[in-house]
Chains A and B, each alone.
Chain A
């Protein structure tokens, strides 16, 4: 009984020593500090600033009004009145409009109203309005076409209702006859389609994960180059395995990333007004598992890096790939199933959808229990792999040390 207590006490004492040791290694290492502490602050602030305006507003648009009637002018005013479009120029022909479009980088599209527009309307003949939107920038295209659909739809409805009421129908009857089956669209969550609110919360998780993986790999590689731990570890091995080493290391990264998480998940959300519906307790519960899974994964892979710069060279390019695999923007259902399953080696693939539901939809843990259990399993899995990896590494180090001794 007493021996167990002593063992535990030694274990805790050694964990503390390894914790201090790892913290020192992090703090003394400029390059690692930049990645483990600086990157999340710099990256997230720069990205958040770039996306600050959230939506693309008032896109410059050229109008070609070939009709020059009061009806066509009314339609132009309606398009100009939308949030998305700004009728900034007018041209007398499509040719001229295209020239204006090529000359000015700011111009996002052209609206063409044909001659005879008003006459057709009065005669009850269908008339065509065209919108040409710049498809080389996706967001511009979407906004401009959206504005045109909205204004032309409203304009068209107005014409119809006037016509139907002229036939003697009441307003309600006219509405029903105009659109018997009307879609009543409701956008839940991020209803203004803000780009920053859409992309930043998930992006923050990816940055946390990737910097953590690279940073741990870097410290691990440095340790290997300097042969750190080679003297303490054999002692640790004798007294209760490599667990104190693993706990000590993990706790130090957890300390640093708790600070990072508070910055990126609380402060940044507050400053830039990102969605924040769920309770912080749920966010914390999920984030803790996420960070642990990433840390254990990082420690597992860190033993593979023999040099300090290897982790950057091997892992940086994965960041955008992991981002798209997490389903932040590209729907997970549209990723080939095999690849999506494979992507579950990264904690972000499990974490991102669950986290976004908590932050955006405000659900509680019971609605993400599937992902929660999956993350828990991942923590367990990487805990085992990290233990095994550290065990073999320390055994390897011990052999080197023994060899060095016999040579003496």
Chain B
């Protein structure tokens, strides 16, 4: 009796009628399974696999050793031992090494000229030419760091030896070798490595992309197939109830995905969590809902499933560039700088940096959080148009 009453309630309540209708629709096609579960998981696995190594190691270096002395061999060994570099080949001259760079086999060439050891012993300065292919600035940067540090360390070692030979204590010798020492402190970045840094943006980007596309699809297909009236009939004629019931299953699924992402970010990768975790979770929920509403906005504006999907994929992908994480906002031209604020993802990245990485006061994080609902309001303003599209036959069946 009791149970019957309950199912009766669910069957009569417009919200649940739409909700169950949507779940029925979702289980009817492989597409839904892919865009809510399989796709995001495949994306997560692939991204984690690509950046598994964390820092680029053992980039190929060619050594042109024209000195063939104990010192030059030691130099080769030290460069090889640097984590960033690996002596992939030894070649007789620079021309041949250059050729290997042209064919893509090496990224840097170190030349040890003749008489290097002799010069050092004589107290004459010896230049060690290093050529780095900087067309990939990430690789170039790592190679520069690794090779430069190795040579500087060797040079410093020689100096200290010479000074100690002249009767200075080790401390005095060190001070003489390097009057001003620079201490480098990295503020906030827990990893100091590019891969983890990228992953903290790429994983949420994938959540955003799939959230937007799945919403556009779920709503747009109703317009295309002309099932809008049936949908609204289930919701008792209310767009708000209709949208709420339709979006909820996706909101839940993507929240689960965001939870998986949080486990990867904070547990597996060890991203620090210096601020309010609740703000981050709230931010993720708002981000998901905001992109859902932006999906509705796209369909309402274009009344065309495919156009919305095209625009949606461009809009969601571009968010990465304009979040300023890879190339900072303040270095962008004015219009591009203004453009960055048109993506909820930008606010999320700021919130994440503020609350997870920097551990700023919660107020500073809420600043960013408070803007995201504006995107939702913008979309709600277009609900009347959505209703018209759903009910008016002339909008249906568009390719």
Contact = CB atoms under 8 A, between A and B. Distances in A.
A139 to B, nearest CB: 6
Contacts of A333: 56, 58-60
A180 B120 CA distance: 6
A131 B182 contact: yes
B394 interface: no
A180 B155 contact: yes
Contacts of B266: none
Interface residues of A, number: 114
A180 B34 contact: no
Contacts of A195: 137, 327
A52 interface: yes
Contact of A127 (B43, B179, B313): B179
A329 B197 CA distance: 14
Nearest to B195: A330
Given A126-B181, A137-B324, A139-B328, A317 B39 contact: yes
A216 interface: no
Contact of B333 (A52, A179, A218, A334): A52
B169 to A, nearest CB: 12
Interface in A344-397: 353-354, 356-357, 360-361, 363, 367-368, 370
A86 B71 CA distance: 41
B206 to A, nearest CB: 6
A251 interface: no
B180 A129 contact: yes
B31 to A, nearest CB: 6
Interface residues of B, number: 114
B93 interface: no
B68 interface: no
A316 B60 contact: no
Of B133, B136, B358, most A-chain CB atoms within 10 Å: B136
Given A126-B175, A136-B357, A316-B317, A321 B46 contact: yes
A213 to B, nearest CB: 13
Interface stretch (A144-152, A229-237, A294-302): A144-152
Contacts of B369: none
B147 interface: yes
Interface string B169-196: 0001011101111111111110010110
Interface string B104-148: 100000000000100010011111111111111111110010011
B154 A181 contact: yes
B84 to A, nearest CB: 10
A185 B56 contact: no
A328 B139 CA distance: 10
A177 B330 CA distance: 43
Interface stretch (A1-9, A12-20, A29-37, A254-262): A29-37
A128 B135 contact: no
Contacts of B23: none
B7 interface: no
A320 B151 contact: no
Given A181-B158, A182-B128, A333-B58, A31 B306 contact: yes
A330 B141 contact: no
A319 interface: yes
A324 B50 CA distance: 8
B301 interface: no
B32 to A, nearest CB: 10
26 contacts: A31-B399, A35-B310, A51-B327, A52-B336, A128-B183, A130-B184, A131-B182, A135-B186, A136-B188, A159-B179, A160-B179, A172-B125, A180-B158, A181-B116, A181-B151, A185-B148, A189-B133, A189-B134, A193-B140, A195-B327, A222-B399, A309-B309, A313-B31, A313-B34, A334-B56, A367-B102
Given A31-B307, A133-B185, A333-B59, 13 more contacts: A52-B336, A56-B327, A180-B125, A183-B152, A185-B148, A188-B133, A190-B137, A193-B140, A198-B135, A330-B194, A333-B58, A356-B136, A361-B133
Interface of B: 31, 34-35, 39-40, 43, 46-47, 49-53, 55-60, 99, 101-104, 116, 120, 123-141, 144, 147-148, 151-152, 154-155, 158-159, 162, 172, 174-176, 178-189, 192, 194-195, 197, 202, 205-206, 209-210, 213, 217, 220, 304-307, 309-310, 313-314, 317-318, 320-322, 324-328, 330-333, 335-336, 339, 353, 357-358, 360, 364, 399
Interface of A: 29-31, 34-35, 39, 42-43, 46-47, 49-53, 55-57, 75, 101-102, 105-106, 109, 121, 124-142, 145, 148-149, 152-153, 155-156, 159-160, 163, 172-173, 175-191, 193-195, 198, 218, 222, 275, 307-310, 312-314, 316-317, 319-321, 324-325, 327-331, 333-336, 339, 353-354, 356-357, 360-361, 363, 367-368, 370
